[in-house]
Structure formats: C-alpha cells, structure tokens
Structure 1
Amino acid sequence: MSLTLLTQLADFPASQWDALTPDTSPFTRHAFLSTLEESGCLGKGTGWQPEHLLWCEKGQALAAVPGYRKAHSRGEYVFDHAWADACQRAGIPYYPKWLAAVPFSPVTGGRLLGEAAAGKKLLQAIPDFLHQQQRHSAHINFSDAHTHAIMQDEPGWLLRLGCQYHWRNPGYRDFQDFLDQLMSRKRKQIRRERERVASQGFEFSWRAGHQLSEAHWDFVYACYANTYAVRGQRPYLTRHFFSLLAERMPEAIRVVLATRQGQAVAMAFSLAGGSSLYGRYWGCLEEFNHLHFETCFYQGMEYAIAQGLSRFDAGAQGEHKLVRGFEPVITESWHLLRHEGLHDAVADFLRQEREGVHAWAEEARLALPFHRPA
C-alpha cells in the first residue's frame, strides 16, 4: 500500500483515472484536468503545480485526489487571503500549500475519487505527505457528499461553509411555465429585462463543441479575456485551452453566442454533465443593457428546460441571482493547518462563520421570487 505523487496527469492512463470518477461532473475527468496542464494554464510561472495523489494497492490505483502545490491563493474561490496575511505578519510560513480543487472553477464535485475505504487511507496519509514535502497546509475545496462522509470524522480537518446560488428545474414545460411560478412583480421584471435585450436586435444560438470552428474559439477567447482586461487582470486560461478541450471532450461543451446585426458581440461558455449545466465563463466586446443577465442566466435556464436538465450552476457568488430564481446552496471546504496556533485561531473563526453562512442562506431564501404558500 502506498501514496503516490503524480506531477502530470498525462503520465497516468485516462481510462484508469476516469474509472475512479463515477460522478457525472466533467471537471474531474482526465480530459479536462490534463487539458489545463498541457495548454499552459497550470505549471511553471502560474503558482499552480500539479501534485495529484494516488492510493495504490498491489500496483493498482484505488483512489485519487486532483491536487496542486500553490504559491498563492488566486483562482480558488474559497478565500483564505486573510489567513495568509495574518501568517505573514506573525512570521509564520503559509505557502507553499497543497490544494485539492478544480482550478479556476468553483464547482462542487468529487475530490476523494475512487473507493471510499481507499479514499480514507489516502486522506490519512496527507499529514505525512505535507511534512515530507514541506507543505504548510492542505485544503479540499467544494467537496461533495461522498467526500464529506469520509472526512467528517477525520481529526484535524476544519470544515468551512460557503454559499452559492443554483437554479433548479423541477420539470418546467417552458420558460413561461417558470415565470408563472413567480410573484407578479418579479415576473414583470424578468419580462422587461428580456424585452429590452430583444428590442436591441439580439439573437442567440447554442452550439456544442463539435460545432465550433477555430474562428469561433478566437471570438470566445477574446470575450473571455476581455472580462479580465477590464479589471486590469490576466486571464487564467490560455487560448490553446479552448481548442484542446474542444478536441478532447466536445460533447460536454456548450456555448451560446449573442449576435446583433449578424455580428457576434458576446458569449457564455458552459459545460454539461449528467443532469446539470455549468455556466463558467462570459464575455462581451461591447456593453449593452441587460445583455449579461440574458446571456448568462435566462439563456441557460431556457436551455436547461429544453434539454430536460434539472440544475443550472451559473458560478460563484452573485446575490442578484436570487431575484431570478437561483436558490442558495451551502458549499463545503476542508482545511488542515499544520501550525497549532493558526489551526486554533482559524477553528474559532470558522465556528462563527458557519453560523453566519447558515443565517445568510435562510435570509436569502426570503428574496426568492416564487409565490409564497398561503
């Protein structure tokens, strides 16, 4: 029995990795994670060095965790910058740390992949791994119920909660059927927003990965990169990432293009898996009123209804999603901090934060636009 460190996913057979990932999320598939590595999104100079962990018995991998050595906390969406700043002031090293996550995507899913018993053994080997590799902490972000069941009784790990907003489709016949479930004022607001976009002459078309040319990908990347450029930041993903992903897993890709007078001006990039649609990236080349809401939210909701998908995860944060029918969903992450003083301080903070997150989620439900029971 052994814990094995894998520094590039290309060295491990895709069929064996995917056999450990029975969930329907596209984000833990070998094709997605290896594309991030091979397209230059991760690796030297990025602060993300692949350090995937495998638990092997008799030469066979029974469990795995997609992991990374981090030299910073960017691109994670579970924010620990304050912990790192406090360590710096106290003269305590915080980086490098080890992170189990999907890079640049705050999406819940499997983190301890494979058999539960083997996953537990892998988890119990992480403290020694941190000591041997001189990592100061371990973090498992946006974990699923399977991971929770394994981790909840493990000593030393601290649970952190967050809140996202997901849209549920209980079986709407069409978008109007969804609107009929809303209070009158909220229904009128959404109709007005959609009418204002339509009055500007916008048309929308959905395409799967195999329906997109390199010229399309040039446009998608230009829009994606522009969302970072307007904030003075560099994009996490490279242009090559999109072409390579389209080559490796075109069946999971969904892109909606917004055109006006025959010219594409905006897009939203999503992935589909199982019964879920995952909205990931949005961008536009010009600013138009309400175009963001239409392209990123209403188009995705309408697509989910048409395809019979039960859930639309449009990304992290965004209280403005509540009035559009996106419900609060509690997310989980787990943190193992080697420094005893830091562990105790963070544990106290997280106890208070968890109470606040639960309270906020309950309060947020009051902002949902659906009819109230009589």
Structure 2
Amino acid sequence: MSLTLLTRLADIPASQWDALTPNEQPFLRHAFLNALEESGSVSRASGWLPQHLLWIEDGAPRAALPGYAKSHSMGEYVFDQGWAEACQRAGLPYYPKWLSAVPFSPVSGARLLGDDAAAARLLRALPGFLDAGQLHSAHINFSDRRMHPLLQQDQRWLLRLGCQYHWHNPGYRDFQDFLDTLTSRKRKQLRKERQLVAGQGVEFIWYQGAELSEAQWDFIYTCYANTYRVRGRQPYLTRLFFSLLAERMPAAIRVVIASRQGHTLAMAFSLVDGETFYGRYWGCLEEYNRLHFETCFYQGMEYAIAHGLARFDAGAQGEHKLIRGFEPVLTESWHLLRHPGLHDAVARFLHQERDGIRAWAVEAREALPYRLSTP
C-alpha cells in the first residue's frame, strides 16, 4: 500500500480514474480535469500545479484525491487571502499550499474518490505528504458530506461554511407552473424582466457540445473572456480548454446563445448530469436591459424544467438569486494549517464565522419569492 503523487492526469488511463468517481457529475471526470491541464489552464505558470494523490493497493489505484500545489489563492471561491496576509505580517510563510478543488468552479461534490477504506487511508497519509513537499497547509474546498465524519474526528482539520443559492425543480410542468408558486409582486417582476428582453428582439437558441462549430466556440470564448477583461483581469481558462472539452465530453455541455436580428450578443455555458444543471460561465458583447438575468437564470430554469432536471446550481455568491427562487444552501470546506498559531487563530475565526453563515442562511430565506414555502 502506498501514496503516489500524480503530476499529470494523462499518466493514468481515463477508465481507471473515472472508475473511482462516485456519480455522473462532470467536474471530476478525467476528460474535464485533463482538459484543464492539456489546455494550460492549470499549470505551474498559472499557479495551479497538478499534484493529484492516488492510493495504490495490489498495484491498482483504490482511492484518489485530485489536487494542486498553489502559489496564490485566486480562482478558488473560498477566500483565505486574509489568512495569507496575516502570515505575511507575522513573517510566516503561507504559500505554497495544497488544494483539492475543481479549478475555477465552486461546485460541491466528491473530493475523496474510491473505496471507503482506501480513501480513509489516503486521507491519513496526507499530512505526511505536506511535510515531504514542504507545503504549509491543505485545503479541501466544496466537499460533499462523505468527508465530514472522516475530517471531523481529526482536530487538525477546520470546517469552514459558505452559502450558495440553488434552484430546485419539484416537477414543474413549465415556467408558468413555477411562476404560479410565487407571490403576486414577485411573479409580476419576473414576467416584466423576461418581457423586457423579449421586447428588445432578443432570441435564444440552445446547443449541445457536439452541435457547436469552432467559430461558435470562438464567440463563446470571447464572451467568457470579456467578463474578466472588463474588470481588468485575465481569464482563467484558455481557448483550447473549450475545444478539448467539446471533443471529450460533448454530451455534458449545454450552451445557450442570445442573438438579435441574426447578430450574436451573449452566451451562457453550462454542464449537466442526470439530475443537475450547472450554470458556469456567461458573457456578453453588448449590454441589453435584463439580458444577464434571462441568459443566466431564466433560460436555465426553463431548460431544467423541460428536461426533468431537479436542481440548478448557479455557482457562488449572488444574493440577487434569492428573489428569483434560488434557495440558500450551505457548503463545506476543510482546512489543515500546519503552523499551530495560525491554526488556533483561524479556528477561533471560523467558529464565529460559522454562526454568522448559518444565521444568514436562515435570514436569506425571508427574501425568497414563494407564496407560503419553498417548493
């Protein structure tokens, strides 16, 4: 039995890696993570150095923990920059650190993959890996509940809560069926927003991955990159990533493109599995009133209803989602900080923060637009 470091996902067959993943969620599949690496979206140069961990028994991988050595905290959506700044002021090193997460995507799900017993042994070996690699901390972001009992019993790991907003489809017949569950005022607001977009002559067409041409992918990437450039930032993903993903897992890709009089304006890129619609990236080249809400939310909600998907995960942050029916959902991340003083200070902070996050999740439900209760 041994812990093995994998610095290129291409060095393990896709069939072996995917056999360890617990469900259809696309973000941990070999095709997705390897496309990030081969496209240069994650690399030493980008500050995301692949360092996946495998637990090998009898010559075969029995468990895995995808991960990256990080020289910064960008693209993670669990914000620890304050901890890094405190270390800098105290003259302590914070980077490099090790992170298990889906790069650039705050989606909750499995992190520790494979057989339960082997996965537990891998997790117990992780602190030794940090010591050997001179990594100052480990972070497991947006993990599923499977990891909770394993990590909770080890006092070195600290729990951090977050709050996202997800929309749930209990089996609506159509969008009007959803609107009928809202208060009159909120129902009128959503209708007005959709009518404003339609009144400007904007139309929408849905595509699966295999249906998109390279010219359309150029447009999609231009829109995606523009959301960063208008804020003076560089996009995380490269253009090549989208082509590789379209080639390797096209069935999971959904893109809606907005146009007006034959001229393309905006797009929203999403992924799907058997039960969930994952809204990921959006961008526009021209601004139209309420175009963002229609493209990113209402189109996705309609798609989920039409295709029987039970949940719409629209990503991080965004309290504006509440009045459109997206409910607060708590997320979990775990942090192992090797310096005792930093560990103790962060533990005190997280104890207070967890109380605040839980209170906010309760308070946020008061902003939901449903008449009596959420569906």
What's the CA shift for 1:155? 3.0
What pairs with 1:152-231 in structure 2 (closer than 5 Å)? 152-231=152-231
> Does 2:248 match 1:238?
no
AA of the residue aligned to 1:152: Q
Instruction: Determine the C-alpha separation between the residues in 2 that align with 1:297 and 1:104.
Output: 20
Cross-structure match for 2:263: 263
- CA offsets 1:219-274 (integer angstroms, 9 cap, x no match): 00000000001000000000010001000000000000001001111000000012
Q: Is the CA contact (8 Å cut-off) linking 1:255 and 1:270 kept in structure 2?
A: yes
Cross-structure match for 2:147: 147
AA of the residue aligned to 2:88: Q
Cross-structure match for 2:328: 328
Cross-structure match for 2:107: 107
Instruction: Determine the C-alpha separation between the residues in 2 that align with 1:256 and 1:153.
Output: 45
Cross-structure match for 2:247: 247
AA of the residue aligned to 1:343: H
- CA offsets 1:266-321 (integer angstroms, 9 cap, x no match): 00000001200100000000111100000000000000000000000011000000
What's the CA shift for 1:150? 2.6
Q: Is the CA contact (8 Å cut-off) linking 1:228 and 1:235 kept in structure 2?
A: yes
Q: Which runs of 5+ in 2 are unaligned?
A: none
- CA offsets 1:173-215 (integer angstroms, 9 cap, x no match): 0000000000000000000000000000011111000000000
> Does 2:308 match 1:308?
yes
Cross-structure match for 2:357: 357
Instruction: Determine the C-alpha separation between the residues in 2 that align with 1:100 and 1:155.
Output: 19
Instruction: Determine the C-alpha separation between the residues in 2 that align with 1:155 and 1:131.
Output: 18
Instruction: Determine the C-alpha separation between the residues in 1 that align with 2:342 and 2:44.
Output: 29
What's the CA shift for 1:23? 1.6
Cross-structure match for 1:297: 297
Q: Determine helix, strand or coil for the equivalent of 1:314.
A: strand
Q: Is the CA contact (8 Å cut-off) linking 1:119 and 1:150 kept in structure 2?
A: no
AA of the residue aligned to 2:127: P
Q: Determine helix, strand or coil for the equivalent of 1:355.
A: helix
Cross-structure match for 1:81: 81
> Does 2:9 match 1:9?
yes
Instruction: Determine the C-alpha separation between the residues in 1 that align with 2:229 and 2:359.
Output: 36
Describe the shift of the 1:212–1:226 C-alpha distance in structure 2 as closer, same or farther (beyond 3 A). same
Instruction: Determine the C-alpha separation between the residues in 2 that align with 1:222 and 1:47.
Output: 23
AA of the residue aligned to 2:269: F
Instruction: Determine the C-alpha separation between the residues in 2 that align with 1:48 and 1:67.
Output: 9
Q: Determine helix, strand or coil for the equivalent of 1:346.
A: helix
Cross-structure match for 2:343: 343
Q: Percent identity?
A: 72
Aligned length: 373
What's the CA shift for 1:60? 1.2
AA of the residue aligned to 2:72: H
Instruction: Determine the C-alpha separation between the residues in 1 that align with 2:235 and 2:129.
Output: 31
What's the CA shift for 1:33? 0.1
What's the CA shift for 1:123? 0.7
Runs of 4+ in 1 over 6 A off after TM superposition: none
> Does 2:285 match 1:285?
yes
Q: Determine helix, strand or coil for the equivalent of 1:305.
A: helix
Q: Is the CA contact (8 Å cut-off) linking 1:20 and 1:64 kept in structure 2?
A: yes
Range with bigger deviation, 101-110 or 148-157: 148-157
Instruction: Determine the C-alpha separation between the residues in 2 that align with 1:217 and 1:305.
Output: 26
AA of the residue aligned to 1:9: L
What's the CA shift for 1:372? 2.0
AA of the residue aligned to 2:286: E
What pairs with 1:59-98 in structure 2 (closer than 5 Å)? 59-98=59-98
> Does 2:41 match 1:51?
no
Q: Determine helix, strand or coil for the equivalent of 1:274.
A: coil
Instruction: Determine the C-alpha separation between the residues in 1 that align with 2:243 and 2:339.
Output: 43
Instruction: Determine the C-alpha separation between the residues in 2 that align with 1:149 and 1:16.
Output: 26
Cross-structure match for 2:36: 36
Q: Determine helix, strand or coil for the equivalent of 2:75.
A: coil
What's the CA shift for 1:151? 2.1
Q: Is the CA contact (8 Å cut-off) linking 1:268 and 1:280 kept in structure 2?
A: yes
Instruction: Determine the C-alpha separation between the residues in 2 that align with 1:102 and 1:155.
Output: 25
CA RMSD of aligned residues (A): 0.7
Q: Determine helix, strand or coil for the equivalent of 1:43.
A: coil
Question: How does the TM-score come out when normalised to structure 1?
Answer: 0.99
Instruction: Determine the C-alpha separation between the residues in 1 that align with 2:335 and 2:309.
Output: 33
Instruction: Determine the C-alpha separation between the residues in 2 that align with 1:218 and 1:305.
Output: 29
Instruction: Determine the C-alpha separation between the residues in 2 that align with 1:307 and 1:151.
Output: 37
Instruction: Determine the C-alpha separation between the residues in 2 that align with 1:305 and 1:349.
Output: 41
Q: Determine helix, strand or coil for the equivalent of 1:366.
A: helix
Instruction: Determine the C-alpha separation between the residues in 1 that align with 2:152 and 2:289.
Output: 46
- CA offsets 1:98-122 (integer angstroms, 9 cap, x no match): 0000000000011000111111111
